Structure formats: C-alpha cells, structure tokens
Chain A
Amino acid sequence: MAPIAVGDSIPDGTLAYFDENDQLQSVSIHSLAAGKKVILFAVPGAFTPTCSMKHVPGFIEKADELKSKGVDEILCISVNDPFVMKAWAKTYPDNKHVKFLADGSASYTKALGLELDLSDKGLGTRSRRFALLVEDLKVKVANIEAGGEFTVSSAEDILKAL
C-alpha cells in the first residue's frame, strides 16, 4: 500500500482500547472520524523514549488548544496490544483528551501504508511516526517521518496548520 497522502480518504479499520470501566472495546476509525476534524498520530512503540517523552506529551499539553481550534478527537495509535496501551496511557495521568488506541496486528497501520520494520531493535513491524489532520475522513495535513525520528510530526506542527 502506498503511504497515505493529502487528499486521500482514510481507510476504515478497527482498533481496540480499554474504556473508563476497564472494559475492552473495539472502535471503527470511521465512526470516530466521519463528519469530524480529527488528529491521528502514531508512534513506533509504547514505552520507548521519543514516543513517551516527546511525541505524546506534546499532544496532551496542546490538547485544549487543539480542541479550541475545532479538533474533535485526538487519537494516538501504536502497534501494541490494548493491555500495553492501557498501561502506557496510565503513565499520563494529566491526559484529558488523547485516546490511546491499539493496532495490535498492525492491520490499520498497513492500510495507511505506514508500517516500518523495526525487528533489529526487537520491535518487529511497527508504525512510522506520523501526524495526520483529517477532516470528514479526508487527509488535510500529512506529517510523516521516514522512520521514528521526530522532526515534523509534533503537536506544534499540526497547530500551525490549523
């Protein structure tokens, strides 16, 4: 699959998460994004430094500002299982708006054409780092890193585009 780009419609896919009552839920991306303005950002791996200490906190801190600019949902996805995503989300107690979604089998990441082989780091197939601004399922901004580096995919970069 070619990587998703500006002007494309995002594919539908099912991701998993644990809700406030600790119940496992599946959610379709389209159900979260249709008719709305959403940010979809991805990290190569839960519990790894750039992801944990730079990428995610940026979106948590800027969440209120992003929402004030009309963003309805801020979705963080990673190729991890929902148990790991839940545990990782708990390390951000100040988080109010970012939803942590598990793409355990990498099927959604592959549907976006954004998978990355990190086997030599002990991670296997993961996602490239990226941030998309999606309006009513159409990609308006696609900030996609070549791999796991952190140059264009931050919350600030998306804010500039809003």
Chain B
Amino acid sequence: MALSVLLKQTGLTKSMVNSFRASRAYASVAVGTDLISAAPDVSLQKARSWDEGVSSKFAITPLKDIFKDKKVVIFGLPGAYTGVCSAQHVPSYKNNIDKFKAKGIDSVICVAVNDPYVMNGWAEKLQAKEAIEFYGDFDGSLHKSMDLMIDLSSALLGPRSHRWSAYVVDGKIKVFNLEKAPSEFEVSGGEVILGQI
C-alpha cells in the first residue's frame, strides 16, 4: 500500500525500485557501532528558519552533543515533503511520542539529506516540531559515514538517505532497522522500534 502510493506520487516504476534494492548489499553500521567515534567530525544542522540561522551564526551540532549520555530514537528518510516520509514515516513517530517518553527516551530525531530550512518548513507543516527534533544532513556527511546513502536521481531526488531507524544509547547503536528499498515502510516506523526498546 505504501509502495503503490509512493509510486503513484513520484512516477517511479517497480523496476526502478528493484534497482534500489540491488544496490545495497551490506551495512557498515550495525548494532554495536559507536556513532560518535565512527563519525567524529560529523555535524548536523538543526531545523531552523533563516533568521534563526543568522542569529546562531549558522551553528552546527556535532553528533556528540546529540548522542552522548542520551537515549535517542533516530530515523532517517529520503526526503522532506515526499509521500511516505510525510504521510507515514513522521506521523508514526509523532503519534507515539508519549510512549517513547514513557520509556525514558530523551529525544526522537528525524534526519534527512535536506537543508535545515526545508526541514524546518516541513516540520512546521507536519506540526511535528514539538514532538520530534528535525535535523538536516545537507551534505550527506552523516549518512555517508553510516554508508546509508542511495542515489535517487531517477526519482529526481539525487543522492539521499535510505529509510531507516535506530535506537542509540550514549552513542552506541542498540537497534537498527533498514528498509530494503527507500519507498517501503515495513521496519522503520515508530511502532516497530517502540517494540524493540
């Protein structure tokens, strides 16, 4: 159902989707990976308006500040304002935020290879900013270090992230879920990871 909705919305054909599946044979990120030491120079950009960017002098947030000593649920998706991402992936976390807090989760984070201004506009449109922290990985540096990049040029998106989710405690990955194809939404949703932590 999710796949056919995205296919209709983007004009992707099943054969294009199958070629995405074939491109990912291994993960260099897995349960046990320490994100902070695996990607020591990587930073993300918190979703913000331009004015907030100016007043913060375009500050960036190193991974250490996001993950150290914290229990974080983080999910990544191909693109702001795209079908499954907007209609299913983000809502599955937004609607379960109280359950995440009840389990002691410090932050629920959404990240995508988009700039932080687009992420901000999108987060506001989804009315999800209170529940979820949105970050832009505008140059893909986080996803490249996790080997989670995928070329979605045929969907006119260019280099983007796979769809994935993870439970990270003090920077160490405890749970990691990766969709077989970025248009799918089987394992990376809020309900699934809620049952895994």
Contacts of B118 in A (CB 8 A): 45-47, 80, 84
* Contact pick for B115, options A24, A104, A105, A123, CB 8 Å: A123
Of B18-26, B33-41, B77-85, which binds chain A? Answer: B77-85
CA distance A82 to B79 in the complex (A): 11
Of B99-107, B150-158, B161-169, B171-179, which binds chain A? Answer: B150-158
Please state if A123 and B158 are interface contacts (CB–CB under 8 Å).
Answer: no
* Contact pick for A122, options B45, B121, B157, CB 8 Å: B45
A122-B45, A122-B115 are known contacts. Are A47 and B11 too (CB-CB below 8 A)?
Answer: no
Please state if A104 and B11 are interface contacts (CB–CB under 8 Å).
Answer: no
Nearest CB in chain A: distance from B93 CB, A: 20
CA distance A49 to B50 in the complex (A): 6
Nearest CB in chain A: distance from B172 CB, A: 27
Nearest CB in chain B: distance from A162 CB, A: 31
Q: Which of B57-116 contact A (CB under 8 A)?
A: 58, 60, 79-82, 114-116
CA distance A102 to B125 in the complex (A): 20
A68 interface residue per 8 A CB criterion? no
Please state if A24 and B50 are interface contacts (CB–CB under 8 Å).
Answer: no
Please state if A83 and B58 are interface contacts (CB–CB under 8 Å).
Answer: no
B139 interface residue per 8 A CB criterion? yes
Please state if A87 and B122 are interface contacts (CB–CB under 8 Å).
Answer: yes
Contacts of B120 in A (CB 8 A): 47
Nearest CB in chain B: distance from A115 CB, A: 15
Please state if B121 and A124 are interface contacts (CB–CB under 8 Å).
Answer: no
Please state if B53 and A121 are interface contacts (CB–CB under 8 Å).
Answer: yes
CA distance A119 to B60 in the complex (A): 12
Please state if B125 and A87 are interface contacts (CB–CB under 8 Å).
Answer: yes
Contacts of B11 in A (CB 8 A): 23-24
Nearest CB in chain A: distance from B48 CB, A: 9
CA distance A47 to B45 in the complex (A): 15
Nearest CB in chain A: distance from B24 CB, A: 21
CA distance A16 to B158 in the complex (A): 12
A23-B11, A83-B82, A105-B158 are known contacts. Are A48 and B117 too (CB-CB below 8 A)?
Answer: yes
B127 interface residue per 8 A CB criterion? no
**Nearest chain-B residue to A83 (Cβ)?**
B81
Contacts of B82 in A (CB 8 A): 83
Please state if A105 and B153 are interface contacts (CB–CB under 8 Å).
Answer: yes
A81 interface residue per 8 A CB criterion? yes
* Contact pick for A47, options B9, B60, B117, CB 8 Å: B117
Nearest CB in chain A: distance from B29 CB, A: 23
Please state if B117 and A45 are interface contacts (CB–CB under 8 Å).
Answer: yes
CA distance A49 to B156 in the complex (A): 25
Please state if B156 and A45 are interface contacts (CB–CB under 8 Å).
Answer: no
**Nearest chain-A residue to B85 (Cβ)?**
A83
A16-B156, A81-B157, A104-B156 are known contacts. Are A124 and B79 too (CB-CB below 8 A)?
Answer: no
CA distance A48 to B115 in the complex (A): 10
CA distance A105 to B155 in the complex (A): 12
Contacts of B189 in A (CB 8 A): none
Please state if B156 and A119 are interface contacts (CB–CB under 8 Å).
Answer: no
Binding site for A on B (CB under 8 A): 9-11, 45, 49-51, 53, 58, 60, 79-82, 114-118, 120-122, 125, 136, 138-139, 153, 156-158
CB-defined A-B contacts under 8 Å, sample of 6: A45-B115, A81-B156, A81-B158, A122-B117, A122-B138, A124-B139
Beyond contacts A47-B121, A49-B50, A123-B117: 4 other A-B pairs, Cβ-Cβ < 8 A, are A47-B118, A119-B139, A121-B53, A123-B138
